[in-house]
Structure 1
Amino acid sequence: MTEANTVRFNEEALSWDSNPSVQLATALAHKAYLARLPPPEILSTYDIMDLGCGTGLLSLALAPSVRSVTAIDAAEGMIAALRSKLEQQPPTPGSNTTPNNDPDNNNSPNPPAPPPPTNIHPIHTLLTSATSPLLHHDPLTHLPTPTPRRFDLIVSHLVLHHIPSLPTFFATIHDCLHPGTGRVMVTDFEDFGPAARQFHPESKMDGVERHGIQEGVMREVLEGAGFVDVKVERAFEMGKEVETEPGSGVLGPAVVFPFLICEGRRAA
């Protein structure tokens, strides 16, 4: 990821979760992943990596379903935001006495928020190698491992359009997976023509390497990196308000953006 991306995402980290498009896209991606992953009894054994995790929205959504999540991002501000979430203390029993809005139960307090998961390990780095010493850590046991860990699944959401070299990116992912069984599953908006450029306002174009991803290109990239059982398909669509005129900063009616999900398995 380029320096321009890192600077931008450091600046936006504190307000990132307040963007409704970010929240909606993450929720839709999470649903798409779960629909394509093994049943709970198998998925619960998975050690996964969320590459380009941002503030951890997807990591936090997936954490209850898997054994562990190694959450990696090149922007220090994003990782700091995730760490802050994971360090939040659960409320003291009986401390939450705010009435709810249930007309049939006006005196009942809102249920306390669940404690943050303990199986997420945030890492601030630009991951370029499967041999990184930062991968010598088990998020569940909090113990070092003698060799870099390999993963059952690597996910990445709304990251690919910021990556200068997709072949290099997927070569690193390939090497971080378990041979024979490890899978990659990534989502990003589709390049469906000139209108796809509208996904970003003009003020945020610095660091955007491509305006979405294309099915044929992604298939070639995954197969070129050594993945087998490659599948690229539309996963969902999402409406997003776009600028009425490029650079105006004024948002108008929503445009529907299709999202692709790209999958592959590392060969034995």
Structure 2
Amino acid sequence: MTEASNARFNTEALSWDTNPDVQRATALAHTAYLARLPSDPAILSTYDVLDLGCGTGLLSLALAPAVRSVTAVDPAEGMIDALRTKLSSQAQEEEEGKEPIRNVLPVCALLQDPDDPLLATDPVTNSPRPNRRFDLAVSHLVLHHVPDLRSFFRTVHGCLAPGGRLMVTDFENFGPDARKFHPESKMDGVERHGLRRDEMQALLEEVGFVDVSVETAFELEKKVETEPGSGVMGPTVVFPFLICQGRKAG
């Protein structure tokens, strides 16, 4: 991500979870992921997951109860601080009889190397595991902020264990209206107005993923500006979201 993206997300971190569009999109993405992952809890509970661009951890925390561990990575310190606060404030919930989440590790980093030592800590044992690899990599509403998708996916491919899976979700570039997903005041750090199906299919195959598929995962109805730059939210547009999947051979 760019410095513009980081600056924006650091500023918005404290209010991020109050955005109903963020909450709805994350819930829909979570449902889409679970529908495509093993339904047998005994299998899914062995998965070590890498969540790239995790933000405040909405998706990480939703996935955590079903998997072995989640390493939640984001370059915006404000977002990671918000996730750390959530994890550290579970004492009260534990007193109320709720099971605390202990298998999520927040990492503030712009990941560019699969062997980054920040990924080496096992969230469950809190012990180092050099050259650690993951069973599943996810990323939600992040790709439209990534300048170089080819480099990003090469890094993700390197982070996966043989047979590991990739699942990423973002809105589709379905035409001129796709630009309306962001108000004009929030265009800093937006690298593309959604994903193109054919480009994503070709890119994932190019970097080495097999069993690649790109399909509609869900639709999100969202209010957009009445006029670009007006700041007045009025009409709604239905934004299709793609889920792009692949597997590392082995």
Q: Could you say which residue in structure 2 is the equivalent of 1:122?
A: 106
Q: Could you say which residue in structure 2 is the equivalent of 1:134?
A: 118
**CA-based RMSD:** 1.2
Q: Is the 8 A contact 2:181 2:224 kept in 1?
A: yes
Q: Is the 8 A contact 1:236 1:259 kept in 2?
A: yes
What amino acid is the match of 2:173? Answer: D
Rounded to whole Å, the distance in 1 between the matches of 2:85 and 2:105 is: 12
Rounded to whole Å, the distance in 2 between the matches of 1:161 and 1:113 is: 40
Q: Is the 8 A contact 1:46 1:152 kept in 2?
A: yes
What's the CA shift string for 1:68-101, capped at 9, x where partnerless?
A: 00000000000000000000143388x8xxxxxx
What's the CA shift string for 1:117-139, capped at 9, x where partnerless?
A: 00000000000010101111000
Q: Could you say which residue in structure 1 is the equivalent of 2:27?
A: 27
Q: Is the 8 A contact 1:85 1:116 kept in 2?
A: no
**Does residue 159 of the first structure (1) align with residue 142 of the second (2)?**
yes
| CA apart distance, 1:254 | 1.4
Rounded to whole Å, the distance in 1 between the matches of 2:166 and 2:222 is: 26
Q: Is the 8 A contact 2:93 2:99 kept in 1?
A: no
Report the count of equivalent residues: 249
Rounded to whole Å, the distance in 1 between the matches of 2:104 and 2:229 is: 39
What amino acid is the match of 1:56? Answer: G
Rounded to whole Å, the distance in 1 between the matches of 2:147 and 2:235 is: 30
Q: Is the 8 A contact 1:183 1:263 kept in 2?
A: yes
**Does residue 168 of the first structure (1) align with residue 121 of the second (2)?**
no
| CA apart distance, 1:114 | 2.5
Q: Could you say which residue in structure 1 is the equivalent of 2:185?
A: 203
Rounded to whole Å, the distance in 2 between the matches of 1:92 and 1:61 is: 16
The alignment partner of 2:216 has SS state of: strand
What amino acid is the match of 1:15? Answer: S
Rounded to whole Å, the distance in 2 between the matches of 1:261 and 1:237 is: 11
Cα 1:113–1:194 change in 2 (3 A) is: farther
Q: Could you say which residue in structure 2 is the equivalent of 1:51?
A: 52
Aligned counterparts, 1:1-268, within 5 A: 1-39=1-39, 40-91=41-92, 112=96, 114-145=98-129, 147-179=130-162, 181-268=163-250
- TM-score, with structure 2 as normaliser: 0.97
Greater per-residue helix proportion: 2
Structure 1, unaligned runs of 5 or more: 96-111
What's the CA shift string for 1:23-74, capped at 9, x where partnerless?
A: 0000000000000001222111000000000000000000000000000000
The alignment partner of 1:242 has SS state of: strand
Q: Is the 8 A contact 1:54 1:79 kept in 2?
A: yes
Greater per-residue strand proportion: 2
Structure 2, unaligned runs of 5 or more: none
Q: Is the 8 A contact 2:219 2:239 kept in 1?
A: yes
What's the CA shift string for 1:232-253, capped at 9, x where partnerless?
A: 0000001000000000100002
| CA apart distance, 1:215 | 0.6
What amino acid is the match of 1:72? Answer: V
- TM-score, with structure 1 as normaliser: 0.91
Q: Is the 8 A contact 1:90 1:113 kept in 2?
A: no
